[in-house]
Chain A
Amino acid sequence: MTQPAFDAAGALHFDLARGNLTLDGKVPAIAVPTSALDALFKRAPADIVEGFGKRLGNQAADLVRDRVGDRKLLLDLEAVNEQLGGALALLGLGDLQMERWGMALVVKLKSMTLRSGHVAIARSALESAFFQLFERPVKAVAVAHDETSVKLVVVAPEVAAKVEAWVAQGLSFGELLNQLHVGTNGVSV
Chain B
Amino acid sequence: MSVQEKIAALEGLLVRIEANRTRPRVVAAAATFSTQVLEAPPDLIEAEDVELFDDEIVELVPESTPAAASESIPAASAPRVLELKLSAPPLASEAAAGSSAELEADLTQPEPAPVEAPISGETPSQAGRHTESESLETDFSDVGSSMGVGEAVPVDAEEATASSKRSKLPASMSEALAEAAKTREIPLKTPPPESGPQAATPQVQMPPQARLPSLLSEEPEEAVKRSLSEVQVVRLVSEARAFRPQTFVELLDATLRLGRGD
Contact = CB atoms under 8 A, between A and B. Distances in A.
Interface residues of B, number: 34
B254 interface: yes
Nearest to A160: B259
A144 interface: yes
Given A100-B245, A136-B253, A154-B256, 13 more contacts: A102-B239, A103-B258, A130-B252, A134-B248, A144-B214, A154-B252, A173-B223, A178-B227, A179-B259, A180-B259, A183-B260, A186-B239, A188-B261
Nearest to B260: A159
Per DSSP, are chain B's interface residues mostly helix, strand or loop, or mixed?
helix
Interface string A44-82: 000000000000000000000000000000111101100
Given A76-B247, A136-B253, A173-B215, A187 B236 contact: yes
A136 B51 CA distance: 139
Given A75-B248, A134-B249, A103 B236 contact: no
A146 B247 CA distance: 31
24 contacts: A76-B248, A79-B248, A101-B220, A102-B239, A103-B239, A103-B243, A103-B254, A105-B255, A144-B215, A149-B216, A156-B256, A159-B258, A159-B260, A174-B225, A174-B226, A174-B228, A178-B224, A181-B236, A181-B239, A184-B260, A184-B261, A185-B243, A186-B239, A189-B236
Interface in B46-63: none
Residue picked from B224, B227, B248, B254, most chain A C-beta under 10 Å: B248
A172 interface: yes
A100 B247 CA distance: 12
Interface of A: 74-77, 79-80, 100-105, 108, 110, 130, 134, 136, 138, 143-146, 149, 151, 154-156, 158-159, 162-163, 171-175, 177-189
B215 A100 contact: no
B139 to A, nearest CB: 85
Contact of A151 (B215, B254, B261): B215
Nearest to B229: A189
Given A144-B215, A146-B216, A174-B224, A104 B232 contact: no
A101 B215 CA distance: 14
B262 interface: yes
Contact of A183 (B245, B253, B262): B262
A179 B248 CA distance: 23
B71 to A, nearest CB: 111
A77 to B, nearest CB: 6
A104 B255 contact: yes
A180 B247 contact: no
A110 B216 CA distance: 9
A105 B251 contact: yes
B211 to A, nearest CB: 11
A158 B218 CA distance: 27
B204 interface: no
A177 B222 CA distance: 13
The 3 A-B pairs of least Cβ separation, nearest first, read: A183-B261, A102-B240, A159-B259
A135 B104 CA distance: 132
B257 interface: yes
